[in-house]
Structure 1
Amino acid sequence: MSTESPRAAWLRAYESAHQAAQRDMDVFPISRGKLPAIRSPHRDDPPGTPSCRGECGRIGHGVHDATTDPKRLDELFDAAPYATGYGIACGRGNEPLLGVDLDRKNGVDGVVSLAALAEQHGFEVPETAVIATPSGGLHLWFTGPAGAPVRNSAGKLGPGIDVRGYGGYLVGPGSWTPKGVYRFAERRSAAELPDGLLALMLPPPPVRTTTVYLPGPRRGAALVGLVKFVLEAPEGELNNRLYWAACRAYETGVDADSISRALVNAAASLGHPERAAERTVSSARNAPMRTSA
C-alpha cells in the first residue's frame, strides 16, 4: 500500500500531466481508481439521450477531454481536486500512441506471453518507453500509423496482454494509486510498433472463401476500382478504407509491388503520410488468411 497526502498526489499528477502535454501527449485527470476524475455532465440526462463525446462544450467526457493545451489542462485539474493521476489518450495524431499493457499477476505473465507471440509470428519487440505499474506489470509505449483502426482489447492477443488503442488511454507515469506510483522503467522515445504486432491488432480482413485470379484487363480494372474506393474515403475513414482495399487487392493476383504503389500513392495524394500508408498496406499483405465455414 502507498500513502500520500491528497494534495501531494494532486500536485504530482498536475505537474506530470503538464510535462506530458509539453511532449505533445493529450492528457486529462484521473482518480485513484484510474477512472476519469471529472463527473459526466450528462449523468442526469434522461434515458435514450444521444451520447456525447464533448460536442456539448462542457468538461467531464473522460478521454475525450484530453488536451495538450496548458490552459485547458489547468481548467480540467481545477475541476478535479481529488485527481491523483492523469491519463494519456491513445490513437491520436500522425504518430498515434498505442499501448501494450502486460499484466504480471494471478499466475499470468504478459511479458512471457508477448515473447511467445513475437516468436510465433516472427517479429522483434524493439526497445521502447516502458512504465512500471504498482502491481508489477509493464506498459510498453509504441507509435503506430496514423488512423490505424487499433481498438482496445483485453487478453485477445494472449494471456496478460491488453491493448490500448483509439478511444483508450494509458495511466501516465507519476500517477498515484493506493498500490503505488506509476514510474518510468525505461525512459526513452516510443518505438514504432512492429508490423507483425500491428497486423495482430488490426481488424481481420474480409472473409476470403477463395483466391480470385482475374484475367489481365479485369485484374487492372479491379485495382482501379479499389484505388477509387480509397480516393473517395470520407473524413476519418481513409486508413480503414486503405487497409480494406489492400486486403481485397491482394486477392486479385496483381503483383504486390503494383498494389502497394497504387494504393500508397492514392492515400498520399489525400495527405496521408506516405510512411504510414506503406505500413498499413504491408499489414494487409501480411494479414492471415481466413476461411468461411
Structure 2
Amino acid sequence: MAITDRHTATLALAHALSAAERGLPVIPLSPTKLPALPSPHRMDREPARCRGECGLPGHGVHDATADPAAVRALFSAAPWATGYGIACGRPPHHLIGVDLDTRTAATGTTDSAAALRQLALRHLFTIPETVTVITPSGGRHLWLTGPSDVVVPNSASRLAPGIDIRGAGGYLVGPGSVAAHGAYRLAPGSAELAPAPCPDALLRLIAPPARHRHPAPGPAPRGQGLIQFVLAAHEGQRNTRLFWAACRAYENGIGESLADALTKAAVRTGLTEHEARATIASAARLTSR
C-alpha cells in the first residue's frame, strides 16, 4: 500500500472512530463505496442468507458497530479501506438518509434539491437544518432521525427522480471518506449540528403503513461460528475477538446461553477465565444500552 493510501486509511479509521463515539454504527468501505470486507460465504454454492449469525465479519452493514475496539478490529481486517459507512435505522439515532443526487440514468441531470422543496410545499413540511454531507459529484446527504418504532425502507427515486432514501439495512458514506471519484465532506455550518428529527409528513411518505405485528419467533440455536471466531484468535487479538463475538451474541439474543462456551474458547486461546468473563460482561453492558 502506498504512503498516500496508508494516510487515507488512517484518516478513515479516525473518522469512523469519531462517528462511533457519537453512537453511530460504522463499517469500513472500499474506494468503490462498497463494504471493504468480503463475505465469508462467497465460495458457498448456495446463496447465503446469513446476516452475521455465523460470527464472522464480512456481512456488510450487519457488521456495523459503535464499539471502538470492534471498529478497530474491522479496519485492521480491511487495511485497504479508504472510507466508512454509517448504518441507518439503528439505535440510538435511527438514522434516515435523504440522498439528493445530481443526476439520474434516465435524464442525465436533475435538480433533486428543488424536487425535495416541491415535495415540502405540496405536503406541508419544512426541511430542517441538519447534518449535511457533500458528495464528490456535488450531491447532498441529509441526515434525519426517525422514531424507534418505525422501520423506514430503502428506496431509489420513489419520491422523485434523484431522491434516494437510506433506511434500515442501508448505510450512508461518512464525511471524511475518500472514494474513487473524490472525498465526502461536511457542508459548511453542518459540523455543529445534530441530525434533526424527520418531519412527520415526510416520514409518512417514506415509511410503509403500520401493520399488525406478530411476535417474532425466538432465535434458532446458533453460536458455533462465534466460538470458532474466538478460537482462531492470535496473540494480540484475543480480547478484541472475544468482545466482538460477545457483542454479536447478545445482540442476537444468545449472549447468556453462549457465555460459558465463549469463556472456555477464550481460555483455550490464552486468556484467564477472569479476563474472559470480564470482557463478556462489558459486551453485555454495552449491548444492553
TM-score, L = length of structure 1: 0.68
Give me the whole-angstrom Cα distance separating, in 1, the residues matched to 2:15 and 2:204: 33
Q: In structure 2, list runs of 5 or more residues that go unmatched.
A: 218-289
Q: Secondary structure in 2 aligned to 1:5?
A: helix
Q: CA deviation at 1:109?
A: 1.4
Deviations 1:4-55 (A, max 9, x none): 921111011100000000000000100000000001000011225x410000
Q: In structure 1, list runs of 5 or more residues that go unmatched.
A: 207-228, 237-293
The answer to whether the 8 A contact 2:31-2:178 is kept is yes
Alignment equivalent of 2:196, drawn from 191, 196, 215: 191
Task: Figure out how many residues of one structure are paired with residues of the other and give that number.
Answer: 209
Match of 2:65 in 1: 67
1:98 matched to 2:96: yes
Alignment equivalent of 1:89, drawn from 87, 90, 97: 87
Cα–Cα, structure 1 residues 34 and 4, in superposed 2: closer, same or farther, change >3 Å? farther
**Counterpart amino acid of 2:186?**
F
Deviations 1:184-222 (A, max 9, x none): 10221000000000000012468xxxxxxxxxxxxxxxx
**Counterpart amino acid of 1:19?**
S
Give me the whole-angstrom Cα distance separating, in 1, the residues matched to 2:65 and 2:93: 16
The answer to whether the 8 A contact 1:36-1:62 is kept is yes
Match of 1:80 in 2: 78
Match of 1:129 in 2: 131
Match of 2:119 in 1: 117
Q: Secondary structure in 2 aligned to 1:104?
A: coil
Give me the whole-angstrom Cα distance separating, in 2, the residues matched to 1:121 and 1:192: 17
Give me the whole-angstrom Cα distance separating, in 2, the residues matched to 1:201 and 1:4: 43
Deviations 1:215-246 (A, max 9, x none): xxxxxxxxxxxxxx67xx5259xxxxxxxxxx
Match of 1:234 in 2: 215
Match of 1:21 in 2: 20
**Counterpart amino acid of 1:195?**
D
Match of 1:159 in 2: 161
Deviates further, 123-132 or 196-205: 196-205
Alignment equivalent of 2:151, drawn from 144, 149, 152: 149
Give me the whole-angstrom Cα distance separating, in 1, the residues matched to 2:148 and 2:109: 36
Give me the whole-angstrom Cα distance separating, in 2, the residues matched to 1:19 and 1:158: 33
**Counterpart amino acid of 1:196?**
A
TM-score, L = length of structure 2: 0.69
Q: CA deviation at 1:81?
A: 1.2
How do residues 1-80 of structure 1 correspond to structure 2 at under 5 angstroms? Answer: 5-47=4-46, 50-80=48-78
**Counterpart amino acid of 1:191?**
A
Match of 2:207 in 1: 202
Percent same amino acid among aligned pairs?
Answer: 52
Cα–Cα, structure 1 residues 94 and 76, in superposed 2: closer, same or farther, change >3 Å? closer
Give me the whole-angstrom Cα distance separating, in 1, the residues matched to 2:98 and 2:82: 22
RMSD: 1.9
Match of 2:223 in 1: none
The answer to whether the 8 A contact 2:24-2:93 is kept is no
Give me the whole-angstrom Cα distance separating, in 2, the residues matched to 1:235 and 1:25: 26
Q: CA deviation at 1:104?
A: 1.3
**Counterpart amino acid of 1:93?**
P
Q: CA deviation at 1:95?
A: 3.3
Q: CA deviation at 1:110?
A: 1.2
Deviations 1:98-156 (A, max 9, x none): 10000113321110110011011111111111000010000000000003121000000
Q: CA deviation at 1:178?
A: 2.4
Give me the whole-angstrom Cα distance separating, in 2, the residues matched to 1:72 and 1:84: 17
Give me the whole-angstrom Cα distance separating, in 1, the residues matched to 2:14 and 2:87: 17
Deviates further, 175-184 or 191-200: 175-184
